[in-house]
Chain A
Amino acid sequence: MRVSLAGVMLLAGCSVSHVGPAFDTPIPAGEVRDSLELKLTLEPRQDCEESFDLALYQHRGIELIRWDRPQGPGRCEGRRATIRYIPARIQRAQVIRLCRTAARQVEQVEQVRQP
């Protein structure tokens, strides 16, 4: 399966909340956050981690993707990422759908609720 930016944008298009200004903007501190921890096999390529990020961040409901330190530089398989998102802008299921479009395999590890 290839990383399909168009596919991701199509999925993102299901929600209107991803539309925003022509640049990145802060999310107000008062907005509720939630996190998802995932085990991922990324599309094998030189910049697999970055490609995944660029695809997901198209949606403005995704606030931060925090990566583990890979076993070797540029590793694309067996990666762990914690995705912080804004539930009012994107639902958990939609986050997972976006991940499935951008990665080869997605496995949910656990859901961490932030206070």
Chain B
Amino acid sequence: MIANRSGQRWLLGGVLVLAALAPTLVMTARAWTVAIEPPPSPWELARLRVVAQIKAGDASVLINVTHREMPASPDILNFGKRSTKALERCLSDNVNSDIRARCAAMLGSLGDRRALPTLRVALEDWDAYVRRQVIRTLRHLPDPASFEPLARLYGRQDEALANRQAILATLGALSSPKAVQLLRKELLRKPDKDKPDLRPQAFEALWSSRHLYARPTLVADVSQALRSDNSQLAHLATEAAAELRDPRLVQHLVPLVQHPSEDVRNKAVYALGRIGDRKAARALLLHLPRAREARMLNNIAFALERLDRQAFFAAIQKTIEHKQAIIRLNAAFVVGDVRRPEGLPLLQRALNDDSDYVKTSAIVAVGKLGQPQGVKLLERFVHHDNLSIKQEAIYAVNSLTGGKRADLIYQELLTSNKTARRPDIRRRAAIELGKLGHEDVREYLLVCLETHRCGLSDVEQFFARSKPGDRLPGRLLLAWSSGRPELTEIVARLHPPGALDVAGSALGAIRVERQQQVVAAIDLIGDLGGARFADLLRRERFQRRPWTRVHALVALARVGDESAARQLLQELDDFPVAWLPQMVEAVARIEESAPRKRLLAELQKRAQGAQIDLALAAAAVRLQWEPEQGFFRFLEALASKSGHERDQAQYYLQRNRSDKLTWLLRRALARERRPFTRHRLRKLLDARQRS
């Protein structure tokens, strides 16, 4: 009887496997016929069987798998939230601890909150590494109800140190007042002599929950951390101080300017500059002549310039005349970066320095000041024998004249015999001339790109201005078809004749293993509106590989397939949260108004939903399509009660590099009065300025 049932189960399993594997086998067969690949090994087939059973909804499939049968994580995550149950059972019932740990990690990547009860139970796993993975996964799925089991585990004296550290980090992510209490207790506790000091981890975790703090308490805790004898804690506190910008922190930051750790010293100076309290100026002035590294000199100088400009120029004048050339060189660099006209007389002296390095630094700095009188100062260097001095002088003069000295770049750097043995100088000259729209460098830059000596970003702006009859688009298409997927967008923009046919042929011919090129071909068909290749795209949407499938759906939506938008939304709902940012990039490629309209209403619904990761992914698509309208969802998220939502919003705002978003962030900062939201906006803008 038992044997009979077992036989029926195997038969049923076999039918299910065959049915589920059909598309995969077709694709594999295609690969064999085209590429004559060796057939899969028995273990590969076993893994394929497991994948098929997950697809068929078998929740028990991972209970008895060993390492050899366990599919790769992407193959499981590919099924999105349909694989949650199987992963939960794996975590509870597989006897192999490594496999349980992998399943716990995958549950984190999936982000399916239905798994929370199973994960909380798994905090009692006998294996420390499994528990660590579970703790980390609970951080990705923050929920106040996880506090109690985590606190209980933290309270056990026999818990591994790495797990205790991980618990603190996870508690910080919960946005729970109870967790904040526990973390504060850890932060304020006097460390035991013989036990590891966990205050840095407690501080870091508290910082993740800072929006739950009263500001005076937060300032008091940061002050205490700044005074700590633990360098790691002091370092974290200096970073926090730079974000808080509270004048009460100045007195605790000033002594850190002389901290033994270079990192703490630099971060303390940076924070003082950001706080902008003039009381710090004296300490920085005293320290300026004692600085022993370029980073410190630069940090002090920039901080001083904000705090007391007059004192800064008096001090930097001494530094730019220092006995050591390396200090003079750095001082000249700082004067340039400060961009104040008061720096010009100082640089004028540095231009006569005996050291060519100091001279070069001063020339670059004069160029940055943007003062027209700088041109006269630099003219004598444009024919200098030292090629470094010469080229920097030419670029600075060109910049100060508003791009009117391209002739110098062409004659003295690109075509001069003197630079014949310096391809680096010629390449930079050609790229610069391209940016100025100089037609004579077209062929040079094309070859430069073809031979991988120039990056696309170096030439993209110039190439985008192609003229009718130009050979450039065809050459770029040729490069694209020989395996340069990064050229997809520019090829689409220039639309050379035959591009669509080449993309269609590429999709049919490329081996399935080269996924990047397959995706590029799909994207190009979508970019060029290749509706006649819709059938080819439809075949790809059944692909086991998620990105081929998603990009095919995006391309289909763009060429007018109305059902593709619906399927894209299904994918979005089901996708592992760890993959959502890439999903956003793919969907944001849609430029056509009809599919955008079809998707927007649904995306907006999801953007207001309770699933934070999905909500912000949906909002991030809108942010790319309609930044002015979409931005407000992110502003709301930056002020959310949930730290996770704030972090997610910050993440997507950081990823979007558009100028328009920078302007919107500035507008938001100018009008923002909620302190922690203001800090986040300031931080986002600082990061954009640095890059």
A residues lining the B interface (CB < 8 Å) = 20, 22-26, 44-48, 50, 53-58, 60, 62, 64-67, 71-72, 74-78
Contact = CB atoms under 8 A, between A and B. Distances in A.
Interface in B663-688: 663-664, 666-674, 677, 685
Given A26-B632, A50-B689, A72 B671 contact: no
Contact of B340 (A44, A55, A66): A44
B634 to A, nearest CB: 11
Interface stretch (B4-12, B363-371, B449-457, B537-545): B363-371
B666 A75 contact: no
Nearest to A78: B402
B368 A23 contact: no
Contact of B666 (A20, A57, A74, A78): A57
B287 interface: no
A115 to B, nearest CB: 17
Interface of B: 302, 337-341, 367-370, 399, 402-403, 628-629, 632, 635, 639, 659-660, 663-664, 666-674, 677, 685, 689
Given A46-B339, A72-B367, 7 more contacts: A23-B668, A23-B671, A44-B340, A44-B341, A46-B338, A47-B689, A71-B402
19 contacts: A22-B672, A23-B673, A24-B632, A24-B670, A26-B629, A44-B339, A46-B338, A53-B663, A54-B670, A57-B667, A58-B670, A60-B671, A64-B628, A64-B664, A66-B663, A67-B663, A72-B399, A76-B370, A78-B402
A80 B636 CA distance: 31
Contact of B659 (A24, A44, A46, A67): A67
Top 3 A-B pairs ranked by shortest CB distance?
A57-B670, A22-B673, A53-B666
Contacts of B670: 24, 53-58
B506 to A, nearest CB: 34
Contacts of A23: 635, 639, 668, 671-674, 677
A53 B339 CA distance: 18
B277 to A, nearest CB: 17
Contacts of A64: 628, 663-664, 667
Given A45-B340, A46-B339, A47-B689, A22 B667 contact: no
Nearest to B461: A69
Judged by DSSP, the binding face of A is: loop
A20 B671 CA distance: 9
B280 to A, nearest CB: 18
Contacts of A48: 339
A47 B685 CA distance: 11
A62 B666 CA distance: 12
B342 to A, nearest CB: 9
A74 B339 contact: yes
Contacts of A25: 632
Contact of A74 (B368, B669, B677): B368
A75 B628 CA distance: 26
B368 A24 contact: no
Contacts of B639: 23
A14 B329 CA distance: 48
A48 B369 CA distance: 12
Contact of A46 (B337, B666, B667, B668): B337
Contacts of A55: 670
A45 B337 CA distance: 9
Contacts of B629: 26
A58 B670 CA distance: 6
A57 B402 contact: no
A23 B632 CA distance: 10
Given A25-B632, A50-B689, A67-B659, A76 B666 contact: no
A72 B378 CA distance: 17
A58 B663 contact: no
A48 B669 CA distance: 16
A9 B666 CA distance: 16
Contacts of B660: 66
Most chain-B CB neighbours within 10 Å: which of A45, A48, A66, A71?
Answer: A71
Nearest to A51: B666
A67 B639 CA distance: 28
Nearest to A66: B663
A20 B670 CA distance: 12
Most chain-A CB neighbours within 10 Å: which of B337, B368, B629, B666?
Answer: B666
A53 B668 contact: no
B635 A54 contact: no
B667 A53 contact: yes
Contacts of A24: 632, 635, 667-668, 670-672
Nearest to A77: B370
Contact of A58 (B340, B403, B659, B671): B671
B238 to A, nearest CB: 21
Contacts of A77: 370
A58 B402 CA distance: 31
A74 B368 CA distance: 8
Contacts of A44: 339-341, 369-370
Contact of B403 (A57, A62, A71): A71
Most chain-A CB neighbours within 10 Å: which of B338, B340, B667?
Answer: B667
Nearest to B342: A44
A79 B689 CA distance: 17
A54 B663 contact: no
A55 B666 CA distance: 10
Nearest to B401: A71
A45 B402 contact: no
A45 B339 CA distance: 5
B625 to A, nearest CB: 16
Nearest to B367: A72
A74 to B, nearest CB: 6
Contacts of A62: 667
Contacts of A54: 666, 669-670
A24 B666 CA distance: 10
A78 B659 CA distance: 19
Nearest to B341: A44
A92 B285 CA distance: 45
A40 to B, nearest CB: 13
Contact of A57 (B339, B367, B671, B674): B671
Contacts of A67: 659, 663
A50 B368 contact: no
Contacts of B338: 45-46
Nearest to B677: A23
A50 B340 contact: no
Most chain-B CB neighbours within 10 Å: which of A45, A48, A64, A72?
Answer: A72
A24 B669 CA distance: 8
Given A44-B339, A64-B667, A75 B674 contact: no
Most chain-A CB neighbours within 10 Å: which of B639, B663, B668, B670?
Answer: B670
Contact of B399 (A45, A53, A57, A71): A71
Nearest to B395: A72
B623 to A, nearest CB: 14
